[in-house]
Chain A
Amino acid sequence: EPEVTQTPSHQVTQMGQEVILRCVPISNHLYFYWYRQILGQKVEFLVSFYNNEISEKSEIFDDQFSVERPDGSNFTLKIRSTKLEDSAMYFCASSRDRKNEQYFGPGTRLTVT
């Protein structure tokens, strides 16, 4: 069964460094999403992406964040200058279209020290 994959599973970085989190969505899906979950808190929407551009973004998704689909399979989230408060689990998801079921990846745990 097709699944969303994410790499790495755990990333440790120092404050101020840039990180890139990678996701491979399900191949025939057209909508891609990033969410984050700070430990003990709820899952928060960051951004949705369709047709090679951002479809919607939340207030969390400021200028420090960017997304890209650099090739036909990968979908990446870049954080330019990480802060301690960026420590969280980051989930990627994809769906065939906006109103269809979302499938989530296993997440990348980002730890900023």
Chain B
Amino acid sequence: KQEVTQIPAALSVPEGENLVLNCSFTDSAIYNLQWFRQDPGKGLTSLLLIQSSQREQTSGRLNASLDKSSGRSTLYIAASQPGDSATYLCEGGSEKLVFGKGTKLTVNP
């Protein structure tokens, strides 16, 4: 049974800092891993998708990596801004899709 864990549960950083969010999963036979952000009371916005055959994906200030052998993915955010404040979720799985509980990020001006 796939389990997805995200650490830390919460993170508070000053504006401009580079940061790393972690996601670990137990079933390495995932099809892909997707990172989302969720603003309070809102839906999920897709940030990056990494296919199982890929090692990383980049979009603007975001970079996500995937290491299937160790069951880990990281989301790197460069030069954080207050607008990055949100909960970041990772989702992985094969037939059944599993979300982590998320990391609540606060970027302080």
Which A residues contact B (CB, under 8 angstroms)?
33, 35, 41-45, 48, 55-56, 58, 91, 93, 98-107
On whether the beta carbons of A99 and B32 are closer than 8 Å, the reply is yes
Select which of B49, B91, B93 is within 8 A of A100 by beta carbon.
B49
B26-50 near A? 1/0 per residue, CB < 8 Å? 0000011010100000111110010
Q: Are B102 and A42 closer than 8 Å at their CB atoms?
A: yes
Q: How far is the CA of A58 from the CA of B36 in the complex (A)?
A: 21
In the complex, what residues of B have CB within 8 A of residue A101's CB? 34, 46, 49
What CA separation (Å) do A94 and B101 show in the bound complex? 21
Cα A45 to Cα B45 with chains together (Å): 16
CA A42 to CA B99, docked complex, whole Å: 7
Contact status of A43 and B51, CB under 8 A, knowing A33-B97, A56-B95: no
Residue of B nearest to A33 (CB): B97
- Least CB distance from A44 to B in Å reads 7
In the bound complex, what is the Cα–Cα distance between A41 and B102 (angstroms)?
A: 10
A106 to B31, alpha carbons, bound, how many Å? 25
**Are the C-beta atoms of B46 and A107 separated by less than 8 Å?**
no
A45→B96 contact, CB < 8 A: yes
Contact status A45-B97, CB under 8 Å: yes
Neighbour of A107 across the interface among B43, B99, B101, CB < 8 A:
B43
Query: Could you say which residues of chain B place their CB within 8 Å of the CB of A99?
Result: 31-32, 51-52
A93 to B40, CA, bound (A): 19
